Amino acid sequence: MAAGLLRDLLRRRVPQILGIYLAVGWGVLEFMDWLIGRYGLPERLADLSLLAWAAMIPTVLLIGYCHGERGDQPWTGTQKIGVTANVVAALVLMVIVLSSRGVLAGGKINAAALDPTRIAVLYFDDESEGQDLGHLASAFTGALIDELTQVRALDVIPRGAVKPYRDVSVSLDSLVRALQMGTLVEGSVSGSKERLTLNVALIEPASQSTIESFVLDGSVEEWRDLREDLATRVARFLRQSLGIETRLRERRAGTESEEALTLFEQAERLYEEFERYGAAGDTAAAVRELAHADSLLAAAESLDPRWLAPVVQRGWWSIDLANLGRLGPGAFDRSAMETALAHAERALDIAPDDPTALELRGMVRFEMSEDRALADPSALRDSARQDLHAAVTADPFRARAWATLSELQRVNSRPLEAKHSAERALEADPFLSDARLIVFRLYQSSLDLEDIDEAVYWCAEHRRRFADHEASAACYLFLLALSRGPAPDIAHAWALLDTLQELGAPQLREQHRLVGQTWLAAALARVGAVDSAASVIRRTRAEATGGLVPWIDYYGANVWLLQGDREAALEWLASFLEAIPQRKGYVASDWMFRELWSDPRFQALVATEG
C-alpha cells in the first residue's frame, strides 16, 4: 500500500509541487524580512506572511493531488468543496493564532507589558566624515553598558545580545520583540580626529519618542574623560527618568479605582504648588495648597480604603507641613507631626509589614525624638531605629530609610554605622530620587569620622550635582570653620555666605545668614583675625532669636575655642546643652571640641543620667 501510494503521489507530481511551493515561499519570507528591516515596516507583516505560508500547505497538497497529473483534469464538486474548506480553515487558523499573539490588535507595542528598567544600549554610530571613529564609538558603548550594569535595579541587556544588531538595519518593533526592552539608549560619535561630539538619546519604544537627549564635546585626547562623563551623565539621567516611571507604575498597581488614581495625581500637582510657594517664602499659600492636596488624597483613600499610597503620602506631606520654616532640628509643628504619626499607624494597620509604612513611622519617630521639650529621646530613637531597620530589611532599596538611619546613627554617636548606612543609601537609590540628601549624609558622616579629604570630596560632589541648593554652599563654608578644614580664603568665605542666603527659601534666609556668620567667624579666627571673629560671633548671637539661639551657641563655642578662649567655649556649650540636652551624647564625641574632652567641666556638661 505504501509503495502504491508513493507511485500515485509521484504520478500526480505532489512532491515536486510541494517542493516548489516551499522554496518559493521561503524566498518570499526572506524578502519580506528584508523589507521590514530596510524600510521599518510593521513587524506583524512577517507574522502574517509566515502563517499564511504554513497554513496554505494543506491546500497546496490537495490541489497537487487532484490536479498535478498531466493532461486535462476537470474540477469535481467534491474537490471544490475540499479546497474551499482548506482555505477557510487556513484563514480561521491564522486569525486565531494572530489574535492570541495580539498581532491583529493594531500591531502596536504594548507599553504596559514593557519594563522600563530593562535597558538596551545600542552600539553608537560612527558619523564622522572619514568613518574613522568606530573604535571610540565602541568604547563609549561598552563604558555605558558597564556603568549601567552596576545599578542593581536595572536590567541591562548584555553586549552579546545587542551585538547582532550592530551593523544591521532593523526596525524598532523588531528590536523590541527580540530584546524585550522597555528603554532604548542610542547615540553617535561625530567630529574629527581632533574634536569629538557625542549625541545621546533615551527612547521610549512603545511611542518611539525621545524622552531625553544631550550632547557632549571634547578633544580626542580627552576621550577617556568624555567616556567617563558620558557614562555618568547617561546613567544619572536614566536613573532619574526611570525613577519617575517606576513610581507611576507601582502606584497604578496599588489600586483598581481610576477615580482614586486621578485624585492622587491631582493632589501631586497641587503638592508641586506647595513646594513652589514654600520656596518663594509664601507660607500661607503653601499651607493652603497642601491642605487642598491632602483633601484630595483623603477622597482617594475613601474610594479605595485598602490602597496604601494615599495614606503614606499624607504622612510624608504632614512631615513637610510640620517642618515648614523650621529653625533647626527639633523646631517643628508638633500637631502636624502627630498627624503624620497617625497616618503611619493607619498605614501599618492596613499592611503591618509594609516597608513604605515602616519607613514613614521610623522617620516620624526620629523627628519627634528631636523635640527640645523631650527629656529623654532614647525610647523614640530606639523605636525609630527598629522601624527603619525593618524597612530596609524588607526592601533594601529604600534609600530614604537608609539615609534617615544614617542621621539617627550620627546623633547616637555611631559614625561608622552612619557612614555605612549612607553608603547603602547611595547604593540603594538606583533612580537618584533622594540623591541630594544621601550625598549630604555622606559628607556629614565623613566629617564625623574626621576624614576631611572624604568630606571635601562629597561636598564637591554635592556642589557639582546640586549647585542650586543651599547645602552646596553651606558644606564648604562649614569646612572652613573647622580646625582641620581647608585653609580659609576669607574672600571666598564671604562669597559662600552670600550664596548660602541667595539659594535658600526667603523665609529661611535670615536663619542661613546667622548660622553662616558663625562659620565665617570661625574662618576669621583660623586666619588670626581675632577681633573680627569676636565681633561677628557676638553680633550674630545678639541678632538670633527663638529656636535658632542654641545653634548659634553651639557653633560659637567652636569660634571661641579656635581663639583659645576655653571659658567662653564652655559657657556657650553649656547654654546650648541647657536648651537641647538631647545632644549631650553627640557633643561628647564631637571632635570639634577635642581640646575640651579632658576638662572636668566639659565632662560634667555632657554627662547623662545612668
Instruction: Give residue 66's pLDDT.
Output: 72
Please write down the HEC assignment for all residues of 179-196: HCCCEEEEEEEEECCCEE
How many other β-carbons are positioned within 10 Å of the β-carbon of residue 22?
13
Q: Give Cα separations from 349 to 3, 31, 296, 305 (angstroms).
A: 79, 62, 21, 11
Counting beta carbons within 10 angstroms of the beta carbon of residue 37, is it exposed (0 to 12), middle (13 to 18) or buried (19 or more)? Answer: middle
pTM: 0.67
Are 179 and 264 a contacting pair, CB within 8 Å?
no
HSE of 428, CA atoms in CB hemisphere, 13 A:
22
3-state secondary structure of 572: helix
Question: Which residues, given as ranges, of the chain have pLDDT below 70?
Answer: 1-6, 8-12, 34-47, 64-65, 67-83, 85-87, 89-90, 92-113, 167-169, 244-253, 325-331, 430-432, 609-610
pLDDT in tens, 462-484: 998 888 899 999 999 999 999 99
Neighbours of 407 (CB within 10 A): 22
347 phi/psi in degrees, rounded to 5:
-65, -40
Predicted pLDDT of residue 289: 94
Measured CA to CA, the distance from residue 610 to residue 33 in angstroms comes to 80
Cα gap 80→330, rounded to integer Å: 90
Cα–Cα distance, 385 to 282 (Å, whole number): 35
Question: Quick one: cell of 77?
Answer: 464538486
- pLDDT tens digit string along 62-86? 776 676 666 566 666 666 666 676 6
**pLDDT value, residue 2:** 67
The rounded distance, in Å, linking the Cα atoms of 88 and 100 is 18
The span from the CA of 459 to the CA of 482, in Å, is 14
Residue ranges of E strands in 321-369: none
Would you tell me how many other CB atoms lie within 10 Å of the CB of residue 306?
Answer: 10
Residue 353: what residue type?
D
Distance CA 610, CA 10 (A): 104
CB 554 within 8 A of CB 576: yes
Contact 599, 566 (CB under 8 A): yes
